[in-house]
Structure 1
Amino acid sequence: MSESSDALFKVWEEQQSEIRHMQTQRAMLTNAIIVVAVAGIGFVVQRGLTASMLGVTLPLAGLGLYGALASAKYYEMIRNCERRAKILIDRIDESIAGLDLDSVFVEASRQRRLETSRFIYFSQMHRLWIGLHLSVALTGGVLSAVAIA
């Protein structure tokens, strides 16, 4: 491999590392939100759902909305890294004759699609993360509405 290919590959590795780091951060944020949400809901169940519990239920809704927004932002940043990584792979592919990495990725994607159910294949992970956070927000909102009523 030439020096330029080595440099491109090194930058590609850094992009992959950044993607893994952001995915780990998103998972840790979600875990923290879920732990706080479960603790808040447990506190409300233990004390009873009264208007005084709005101090727990309203922040729960806000926390869920924050998680959904943060997950969407992480997805945007991850997609940006993936685009840069794809450009780097294309450049590496161009610089090394006969490598044809793009066909490897296309074939792997085709095989994955054949082996996976349609529902799972077309389900996008970031939407599941956002949906999880929105369910926390909805739970906080519904508990707040019931506490007020």
Structure 2
Amino acid sequence: MADDVDVLLQMYREQHDQARQLEGQRATLSNLIIAVASAALGFTAQHGLEMIMLVVTLPLVGLGSYGVLACLKYHERSVLHHRAARLFSRHIEERMPSLLINDNWAELHTQQRLRFPKTFKVRLYALWITLHFGVAASGAVLSIMILAKAP
């Protein structure tokens, strides 16, 4: 029985490690996109809304859109790994019911929801998607402003 639990525990850890790695990749990608977007917006502010600046503003739309899609994919994969980890924790609890893993998790979840009722409902991936959408929207708005200003 202990061997079964050791295997399940290793599989549980692996799923959490994979989810953690995905979060690190998402953070790196988001930081890169924000750095490039900041530089592009600063460059556009220095040079004004001239037609040549479409070379800077239009790629922002693609960059922000890519960020949105990547964050959605990172979230999907993260959910998969967290669900797999929960599955392994249920199997561990079946073999060692005195641990009350799932009962403790449910209690902690309830306490967190009660302590942070407003922010608990906000999904972190939605915040990241909104940030990347803002990059795409800023590129689109600036591009439209440049085109509207053109003779």
Give the TM-score band, short-chain normalised. over 0.9
Q: Structure 2: how far apart are the matches of 1:82 and 1:140?
A: 35
Counterpart of 1:129 in structure 2 is 128
Tell me by how many angstroms 1:97 deviates: 3.4
- Over residues 49-82 of structure 1, what are the superposed CA-to-partner deviations in whole Å (9 max), with x where a residue is unaligned? 1111111000011100000000000000000001
3-state SS of 1:98 partner: helix
Q: TM-score, normalised by structure 2?
A: 0.95
- Over residues 102-132 of structure 1, what are the superposed CA-to-partner deviations in whole Å (9 max), with x where a residue is unaligned? 001001011111111x220100000000000
What is the number of equivalent residue pairs in this alignment? 148
RMSD over aligned CA atoms reads 0.9
Matches within 5 A, 1:73-112: 73-112=73-112
Q: TM-score, normalised by structure 1?
A: 0.97
Q: Structure 2: how far apart are the matches of 1:5 and 1:92?
A: 6
Aligned residues with identical type, % of pairs: 40
Q: Structure 2: how far apart are the matches of 1:41 and 1:97?
A: 56
What one-letter code is carried by the residue in structure 2 that aligns with 1:114? L
Q: Structure 1: how far apart are the matches of 2:97 and 2:104?
A: 15
Q: Structure 1: how far apart are the matches of 2:108 and 2:99?
A: 16
5+ unaligned residues in a row in structure 2: which ranges? none
Tell me by how many angstroms 1:84 deviates: 0.5
Counterpart of 2:137 in structure 1 is 138
Which stretches of structure 1, 4 residues or more, deviate above 4 A after TM superposition? none
Q: Structure 2: how far apart are the matches of 1:114 and 1:41?
A: 41
Counterpart of 1:50 in structure 2 is 50
Q: Structure 2: how far apart are the matches of 1:35 and 1:129?
A: 15
Please state if 1:60 is matched with 2:33. Answer: no
